[in-house]
A = this chain, B = another copy of it.
Amino acid sequence: MGEEFIQTVLFQLFMIIVLVEMAKIICNRIKVPTVIGEILVGIIIANTFLLGFLRIEEDPEVFEVFKELGVIFLLFTVGLETPFSAIRKVGGTAFAVAVLGVIVPFIAGYGLMVGLGYPQLEAMFIGAAMVATSVGITARVIKDMNLMHTLESRVIIGAAVIDDILGMIVLAIVVGIASGGSLDILQVGVVSIEAVLFVLAIIFIGSFLMPKVLKKNDERKEKKAKAQMVCTAERKRRGIGPLPLALIICFALSSISSILGLAAIIGAFLAGMAFAEFKDRWPCEQKIEPISEFLTPFFFVFVGVEVVLSEFSSVIVLALVITGLAVITKFAGCGMGARKLGGKSASIIGVGMVPRGEVGLIVAAIGLNMAIVEAGLYNAVVFMSLATTLVAPPLLTYTFRRKLGKKCEIVPPDADI
């Protein structure tokens, strides 16, 4: 009954966790964010004898699920620490950061490729791959530094969420042009409206409607309970626990988000954000945190596993140019959007938006599948996604330290236990 299959998976889990923990201990010792260690573990696995030894490519589905659940739980916990009221305060700035952070890299990437003589469509794909910030990477670095509460972090997370939606719209437009041969304005319009409505609806329901309904419901139940002499503890016991409720809402919104053609992580983040308003009623943080701690490393390890170093030699120069452009344009665009907050804060935000991570990889893979992006260029985009991911954490640490002084030491997630 698949005993051998299970045996392999258990051994894989064991080995990956051991390697990740070794990398984390080294990272903590040299004071580097642990996420870099996790990605490097993936790169090492993919490019050494470990790939064959661990037989990871034999059952890709299982690890695809682990990877996706890892980033979903990460974004949910990030959302949990981002009540909507906090996003609202930085909403205007976050929006400016996101919009400029999408437009500038797209135009630059598109312009570069057209200038180098690549076809229009391929150039558009490269531009699109340079657009979307990977909120996962930045969120993890900020969490490891215990800086979720700062203004800059909230702007970054808020902007990354808006940016993800804009990135998906750009991707939808590019894919629409590529598959139809022409720009289908109707399809683009539908996707854009869907995305915006979904986010606004969740925020409205989670952060405005639900608290009011629950409050009224409580008052009504309180009266009824007094009349029937049922104690609160007894009522609580009959209801749903905080962890299952959190899981249900998280998976529901992730599914809906994915079905709407947005990234599933957007739903997970919104679910966390909605839950942040009910911390007193359903204290799920302590229960979600360990699940996230178990699964999240798989996301970063498998971001690293996608890198095949030997394939980069032929496109190394182009890859470096694209990477440089991706860093500079995102930094400049987002920094410009946040200029109101002062130079030091603007540079933190600019740096925080640099990592492209999985979103760039997804765009590149779609382009490759549609035979629009050639293999060499695909490698260059993969390199860009990973290089921006690797470069951002130390820059973020540096800019935060420059602003806050030595106070913000990197604290491993377990240290407070």
Q: Are B6's CB and A68's CB within 8 A? A: yes
* Residues in B neighbouring A244, C-beta threshold 8 A: 17, 20-21, 24, 293, 414
Instruction: Looking at the assembled complex, report how far the CB atom of A359 sits from the nearest CB atom of chain B, in whole angstroms.
Output: 11
Give Cα distance in the complex from A417 to B1, angstroms: 38
- Tally A residues with Cβ within 8 Å of B: 64
Give Cα distance in the complex from A137 to B314, angstroms: 57
A-B contact pairs, 22 of them (CB 8 A): A3-B362, A5-B61, A6-B68, A6-B258, A6-B264, A7-B258, A7-B259, A9-B65, A10-B254, A13-B251, A14-B255, A17-B251, A20-B244, A21-B248, A25-B240, A28-B237, A29-B238, A59-B61, A62-B62, A62-B65, A241-B414, A290-B291
Q: Taking the complex as formed, is A35 at the interface, i.e. its CB lies under 8 A from any CB of chain B?
A: no
Instruction: Looking at the assembled complex, report how far the CB atom of A297 sits from the nearest CB atom of chain B, in whole angstroms.
Output: 9
Per-residue CB proximity of A285-326 to B under 8 Å, as 1/0? Answer: 011111101100000000000000000000000000000000
* Residues in B neighbouring A49, C-beta threshold 8 A: none
* Residues in B neighbouring A151, C-beta threshold 8 A: none
Given that A10-B251, A247-B17, A252-B14 are contacting pairs, would A414 and B65 also be in contact in the complex, using a CB cutoff of 8 Å? no
Identify the closest chain B residue to A261 (Cβ): B3
Give Cα distance in the complex from A236 to B415, angstroms: 8
Q: Taking the complex as formed, is A2 at the interface, i.e. its CB lies under 8 A from any CB of chain B?
A: yes
If A241-B414, A243-B290 are given as contacts, then 10 extra A-B residue pairs at C-beta distance below 8 Å, sorted by A number, are A1-B366, A2-B61, A3-B362, A10-B254, A10-B264, A14-B251, A17-B248, A24-B244, A59-B61, A236-B415
Per-residue CB proximity of A27-71 to B under 8 Å, as 1/0? Answer: 011000000000000000000000000000001011011001000
Chief secondary structure at chain A's binding surface: helix
* Residues in B neighbouring A413, C-beta threshold 8 A: 241
Q: Taking the complex as formed, is A405 at the interface, i.e. its CB lies under 8 A from any CB of chain B?
A: no
Q: Taking the complex as formed, is A18 at the interface, i.e. its CB lies under 8 A from any CB of chain B?
A: yes
Q: Taking the complex as formed, is A117 at the interface, i.e. its CB lies under 8 A from any CB of chain B?
A: no
* Residues in B neighbouring A17, C-beta threshold 8 A: 244, 247-248, 251
Give Cα distance in the complex from A412 to B6, angstroms: 30
Q: Are A283's CB and B65's CB within 8 A? A: no
Q: Taking the complex as formed, is A91 at the interface, i.e. its CB lies under 8 A from any CB of chain B?
A: no
Q: Taking the complex as formed, is A365 at the interface, i.e. its CB lies under 8 A from any CB of chain B?
A: yes
Identify the closest chain B residue to A73 (Cβ): B294
Q: Are B414's CB and A2's CB within 8 A? A: no
Given that A7-B255, A14-B251 are contacting pairs, would A293 and B61 also be in contact in the complex, using a CB cutoff of 8 Å? no
> Out of B29, B61, B288, which one reaches A290, CB within 8 Å?
B288
* Residues in B neighbouring A181, C-beta threshold 8 A: none
A residues 259-295 in Cβ contact with B at 8 Å = 259, 264, 283, 286-291, 293-294
Give Cα distance in the complex from A291 to B414, angstroms: 16
Give Cα distance in the complex from A293 to B18, angstroms: 24
Q: Taking the complex as formed, is A92 at the interface, i.e. its CB lies under 8 A from any CB of chain B?
A: no
* Residues in B neighbouring A5, C-beta threshold 8 A: 61, 64
Interface pairs A-B: 4 shortest CB-CB: A241-B414, A14-B251, A287-B290, A7-B258
Q: Taking the complex as formed, is A115 at the interface, i.e. its CB lies under 8 A from any CB of chain B?
A: no
